């Protein structure tokens, strides 16, 4: 079980973005989250995935506080694949960073073996995003966060990417937080949907 | 963000930089001192010069004692450093004059050279960058770009020598060197004389200084012209110089000026070479002499001074960013 | 429903574009069609790379220099030449790009809206327009990053109003906005259409397109695949003619979430 426990955060010299925010995600559970633009969803995602330290509160898995693990147990799948993939590496080198990738997983994600010898600029955005997902899944982390990972694609590509991602996640009983403005999508794929502003506890000022 | 916050932020930056500066300066002084202490040149020989043969051993000892040469290196450093703190930079061995007085005098000469070249290369470089960026892919762009690559890999002294050959030797328009006509009393030297002697050294530094700023401006402009808001502005009907004037000048010029401030180090390095070629009596020629003849107090003095000079440029660059970009003010506030 | 007697604002027929790049010729767009009437909102949907934004740039005259275009492109019956485009740009035809990053971050909002207003009575008209869209006058002195999403919508509405353009091309204007903001922004555009202007809405958001537009045009791989009334996007998509359009409709999470692309 992933616990986000009373986490508070603000950027320097700005008002609190959120205070005492709590959320739990179970193993095998897919939780959807929506909320207004600019309200702090992506910041929260980065905090849970260990990119930013919260000012108060902590992130725990079961009862262990997360500190400096080799592979962080919460993996963030970024929105813009092209920004987080080294443009001068062949795709297979990019995947080599994830130790637990299997052939099976790649084919499930719809990654064709001919793509492996290509460079990022030779692939479309949708194809790159599949690699981005594969790279995260290949860490075998127990929890994932998907922050608007398909909003820039057409409906068919969106459906394709989600089908393969969900299959992997469900098969291996991973937990996942899905952040999106598309409530219809969340209704379709999530076990439970939360509104961002309902997560923070009472003392909002 | 209001004014008082802006002032607060700037003073915060200055304080932060000041702390950093203390470390840098400490490092630079220690390092220079260590390097100089291993110099093969005997300071006594350097001090006495040609009279070495006629000076007795006892006299040499007395001189060594007087300058503190027999103390441990550590003791020498302490002595020197505590004097510096009190504003006493010591006496130059070469000129037998107070180090600060020499620096002040030489720097005044250098500042004319460096300042003019700095302003000129800024203006010319920025214009070149704008032209090349606006006409990306055209022949103008090709010429400017390749000129900059060529210049960026050309040392300043070589440009200086070329200029002397062209404009002093083949076409004797400008003097070969110095800051004033030879043999003229300093009170008789007019402003015009000085400007006349400055032309070639300034030109050297300007030619060399253009490359960085032009390439930077070109890159930035090309990037900017691809941005969504330029597309939007063009779709609103803005074009040509009105587009560049409204959007580019503000967005590009201030990073460019900042970069230009941050290039004080390059400028100083270039000035040392240019002054050397033209025998221009500025800080550059002085530091070379001090180095070659082991004039430790003078050399250390100039090193400290130039560190301050370069650091000042960097601080100005950082402050400018904050003043100009409303977004920087917020992110820097942290 | 749309009556065909309305004036045709923009007509694009069999538009194609090739790019000449270091000796090679790249065929980017093969055959695109688009007709926009007054009071009509036409949404263009389709996969990335279908040529949606390029068409927008072509209409407004902002294609790169190495682009070669062919086909018919007329505004109010007049062929859109370079010269005409330069005259119409910002006056009769205006582009609204993705709202979240379309303003120069270093220039105040008032100044940027002001470019569209024109020089006559600038201050007075600016004040009127800001009032009209419900923005405080103080917003003029603010910088884009200081505005909330909702305020930003109003700024773009102000620009559209200021231009008095007859044709508004909105290129993914609501990308990255939450649902309420999307509805507000497209609602404003809808009002402008109802008041007599023509709107082209380029988007990935089929739900929003169906909700606000009259006509939906589907592009795929640089070609027009289908032009249909928005109302035809309903049920199982039986009223849609092309299999790709049907596939897009049925790939929506609320319509079956079917991940099949009939084009490959």
For every residue of B70-109, DSSP letters joined together read: TS-HHHHHHHHHHHHHTT---B-TTT-SBHHHHHHHHHHH
Question: C62 with B234: CB under 8 angstroms?
Answer: yes
pTM reported for the whole predicted model: 0.73
CA distance linking residue A139 with residue C246, whole number of Å: 37
Query: How close, in Å, is residue A189 to chain C by CA atoms?
Result: 8
Contact C105 B238 (CB under 8 A): no
Residue A10 burial (C-beta neighbours within 10 Å; 0-12, 13-18, 19+): middle
Report pLDDT digits (tens) over C222-247: 889 999 999 999 998 999 999 999 99
B chain contacts of residue C160, beta-carbon cutoff 8 Å: none
Chains that touch A (3 or more CB pairs under 8 A): B, C
Question: A151 with A185: CB under 8 angstroms?
Answer: no
CB contacts under 8 A, A 8-47 vs B, are 11-14
Q: What angle is formed at CA C120 by the lines to CA C119 and CA C125, rounded to 5 degrees?
A: 100
Report pLDDT digits (tens) over B207-247: 988 998 999 999 999 888 888 888 888 888 888 778 888 88
Q: Which pLDDT score, from 0 to 100, does residue C113 have? A: 86
The tokens describing B310, both together, are 């370069």
Q: Which pLDDT score, from 0 to 100, does residue C214 have? A: 96
Measure Cα distances from A186 to A33, A181, C252 in Å.
Answer: 8, 9, 12
Instruction: Tell me, yes or no, if C211 comes closer than 8 A to chain A by beta carbon.
Output: no
Q: Which pLDDT score, from 0 to 100, does residue B142 have? A: 94
Query: How close, in Å, is residue B143 to chain A by CA atoms?
Result: 29
Tell me if A122 is assigned to some domain: yes
CB contacts under 8 A, C 86-105 vs B, are 86, 89-91, 94-98, 101-105
Residue A42 pLDDT class (50, 70, 90 cuts): confident
Strand ordering across the sheet containing A56-61: A18-25, A2-9, A56-61, A64-65
Instruction: Tell me, yes or no, if A183 comes closer than 8 A to chain C by beta carbon.
Output: yes
Instruction: Tell me, yes or no, if B239 comes closer than 8 A to chain C by beta carbon.
Output: yes
How large is the ipTM? Answer: 0.83
Q: Which pLDDT score, from 0 to 100, does residue B295 have? A: 79
Question: C190 with C212: CB under 8 angstroms?
Answer: yes
Tell me if A205 is assigned to some domain: no
Dihedral sign from CA coordinates of B304, B305, B307, B308: positive
Q: Which residue has the tokens 């793509």?
A: A115
| DSSP states of B245-282 | IIIIHHHHHHHHHHHHHHTHHHHHHHHHHHHHHHT-TT
Q: What is the pairing mode between strands C223-229 and A64-65?
A: unpaired
Contact C182 A155 (CB under 8 A): no
pLDDT average, residue stretch B153-173: 84
The mean-pLDDT minimum among B40-44, B96-100, C50-54 falls in: B40-44
The residue with greater pLDDT, C94 or C150, is: C94
Count how many pairs of residues, chain B against chain C, have C-beta atoms within 8 Å.
69
Contact C178 A36 (CB under 8 A): yes
Instruction: Tell me, yes or no, if B333 comes closer than 8 A to chain C by beta carbon.
Output: no
Measure Cα distances from C64 to B107, B226, C12, C37, C54 in Å.
Answer: 51, 11, 19, 28, 10
Task: Name the nearest CA neighbour of B38 among B294, B287, B301.
Answer: B294
Contact C95 B235 (CB under 8 A): yes
CA distance linking residue B273 with residue C49, whole number of Å: 54
Report pLDDT digits (tens) over A83-112: 788 888 889 888 888 888 888 888 888 888
CATH number where A136 lies:
3.40.50.300
Tell me if A39 is assigned to some domain: yes
B chain contacts of residue A13, beta-carbon cutoff 8 Å: 330, 333-334
pLDDT at C251 over 90: yes
Task: Name the nearest CA neighbour of B263 among B125, B145, B134, B161.
Answer: B125
Chains that touch C (3 or more CB pairs under 8 A): A, B
Task: Name the nearest CA neighbour of C69 among C16, C12, C10.
Answer: C16
Dihedral sign from CA coordinates of B294, B296, B297, B302: positive
pLDDT average, residue stretch B91-109: 85
pLDDT average, residue stretch C119-147: 85
Q: Which helix (H) or strand (E) holds B21?
A: helix B3-37
Nearest to C48 among A125, A159, A183 (CB): A125
Question: C33 with C228: CB under 8 angstroms?
Answer: no
Mutate to test the interface with A, among C252, C256, C261 (most CBs of A within 10 A): C252
Residue B108 pLDDT class (50, 70, 90 cuts): confident
Tell me if A43 is assigned to some domain: yes
Contact B237 C102 (CB under 8 A): no
Task: Give the number of domains in chain A.
Answer: 1
Residue A44 pLDDT class (50, 70, 90 cuts): very high
Q: Which pLDDT score, from 0 to 100, does residue A10 have? A: 86
Report the mean per-residue pLDDT for chain A. Answer: 86
pLDDT average, residue stretch A78-85: 81
Task: Name the nearest CA neighbour of B117 among B40, B179, B206.
Answer: B206
Residue B46 pLDDT class (50, 70, 90 cuts): low
Residue C171 pLDDT class (50, 70, 90 cuts): confident
CA distance linking residue C4 with residue C204, whole number of Å: 27
Report the mean per-residue pLDDT for chain C. Answer: 87
Nearest to C62 among B234, B247, B324 (CB): B234
Tell me if A10 is assigned to some domain: yes
Report the mean per-residue pLDDT for chain B. Answer: 82
Contact C181 A37 (CB under 8 A): yes
Enclosing domain of residue A18 = 2-199
CB contacts under 8 A, C 97-126 vs A, are none
Tell me if A204 is assigned to some domain: no
Q: Which pLDDT score, from 0 to 100, does residue B71 have? A: 72
CA distance linking residue C15 with residue C55, whole number of Å: 8
pLDDT average, residue stretch B164-169: 82
Question: C10 with C35: CB under 8 angstroms?
Answer: yes
């Amino acid at each position: 079980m992933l616990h986000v426990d009373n986490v508070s955060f603000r950027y320097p010299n700005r008002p609190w973005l959120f205070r005492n925010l709590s959320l739990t995600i179970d193993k095998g559970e897919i939780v959807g989250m929506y909320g207004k633009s600019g309200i702090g969803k992506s910041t929260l995602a980065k905090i849970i995935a260990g990119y930013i330290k919260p000012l108060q509160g902590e992130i725990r898995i079961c009862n262990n506080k997360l500190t400096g693990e080799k592979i962080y147990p919460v993996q963030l799948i970024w929105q813009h694949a092209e920004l987080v993939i080294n443009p001068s590496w062949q795709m297979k080198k990019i995947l080599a960073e994830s130790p637990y990738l299997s052939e099976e997983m790649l084919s499930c994600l719809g990654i064709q073996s001919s793509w492996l010898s290509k460079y990022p600029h030779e692939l479309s955005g949708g194809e790159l995003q599949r690699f981005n997902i594969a790279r995260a899944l290949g860490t075998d982390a127990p929890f994932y966060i998907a922050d608007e990972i398909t909003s820039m694609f057409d409906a068919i590509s969106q459906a394709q990417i989600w089908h393969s991602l969900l299959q992997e996640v469900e098969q291996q009983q991973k937990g996942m937080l899905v952040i999106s403005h598309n409530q219809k999508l969340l209704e379709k794929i999530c076990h439970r949907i939360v509104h961002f502003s309902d997560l923070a506890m009472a003392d909002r000022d | 963000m209001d004014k008082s916050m802006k002032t607060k932020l700037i003073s915060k930056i200055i304080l932060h930089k000041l702390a950093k500066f203390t470390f840098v300066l400490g490092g630079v002084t220690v390092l220079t001192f260590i390097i100089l202490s291993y110099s093969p040149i005997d300071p006594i020989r350097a001090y006495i010069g040609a009279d070495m043969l006629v000076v007795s051993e006892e006299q040499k000892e007395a001189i060594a004692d007087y300058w503190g040469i027999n103390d441990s290196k550590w003791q020498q450093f302490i002595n020197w450093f505590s004097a510096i703190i009190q504003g006493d930079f010591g006496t130059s061995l070469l000129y037998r004059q107070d180090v600060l007085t020499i620096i002040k005098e030489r720097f005044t000469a250098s500042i004319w050279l460096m300042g003019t070249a700095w302003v000129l290369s800024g203006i010319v470089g920025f214009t070149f960058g704008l032209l090349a960026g606006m006409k990306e892919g055209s022949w103008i762009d090709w010429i400017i770009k390749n000129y900059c690559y060529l210049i960026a890999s050309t040392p300043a002294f070589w440009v200086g020598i070329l200029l002397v050959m062209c404009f002093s030797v083949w076409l004797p328009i400008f003097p070969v060197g110095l800051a004033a006509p030879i043999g003229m009393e300093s009170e008789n030297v007019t402003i015009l004389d000085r400007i006349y002697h400055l032309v070639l050294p300034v030109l050297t530094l300007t030619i060399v200084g253009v490359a960085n700023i032009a390439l930077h401006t070109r890159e930035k402009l090309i990037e900017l012209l691809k941005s969504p808001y330029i597309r939007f502005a063009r779709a609103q009907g803005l074009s040509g110089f009105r587009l560049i004037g409204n959007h580019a000048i503000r967005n590009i010029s201030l990073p460019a000026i900042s970069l230009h401030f941050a290039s004080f180090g390059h400028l100083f390095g270039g000035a040392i070479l240019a002054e050397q070629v033209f025998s221009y009596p500025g800080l550059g020629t002085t530091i070379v002499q001090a180095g070659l003849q082991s004039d430790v107090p003078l050399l250390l003095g100039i090193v400290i001074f130039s560190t301050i000079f370069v650091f000042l440029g960097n601080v100005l660059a950082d402050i400018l960013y904050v003043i100009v970009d409303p977004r920087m003010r917020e992110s820097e506030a942290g | 429903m749309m009556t065909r007697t309305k004036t045709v604002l923009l007509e694009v027929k069999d538009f194609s574009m090739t790019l000449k790049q270091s000796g090679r010729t790249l065929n980017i767009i093969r055959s695109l069609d688009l007709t926009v009437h007054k009071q009509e909102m036409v949404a263009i949907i389709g996969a990335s790379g279908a040529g949606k934004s390029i068409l927008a740039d072509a209409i407004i005259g902002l294609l790169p220099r190495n682009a070669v275009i062919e086909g018919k492109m007329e505004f109010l019956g007049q062929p859109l030449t370079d010269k005409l485009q330069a005259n119409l740009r910002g006056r009769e035809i205006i582009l609204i790009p993705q709202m979240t990053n379309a303003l120069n971050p270093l220039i105040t909002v008032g100044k940027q809206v002001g470019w569209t207003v024109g020089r006559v009575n600038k201050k007075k008209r600016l004040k009127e327009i800001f009032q009209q869209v419900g923005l405080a006058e103080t917003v003029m002195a603010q910088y884009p990053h200081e505005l909330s999403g909702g305020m930003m919508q109003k700024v773009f509405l102000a620009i559209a109003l200021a231009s008095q353009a007859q044709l508004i091309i909105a290129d993914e204007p609501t990308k990255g906005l939450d649902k309420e903001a999307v509805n507000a922004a497209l609602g404003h555009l809808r009002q402008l259409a109802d008041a007599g202007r023509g709107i082209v809405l380029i988007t990935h958001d089929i739900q929003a397109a169906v909700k606000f537009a009259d006509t939906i045009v589907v592009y795929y791989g640089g070609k027009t695949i289908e032009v249909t009334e928005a109302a035809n996007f309903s049920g199982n998509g039986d009223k849609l003619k092309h299999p790709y359009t049907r596939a897009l409709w049925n790939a929506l999470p609320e319509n079956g979430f079917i991940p099949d692309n009939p084009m490959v």
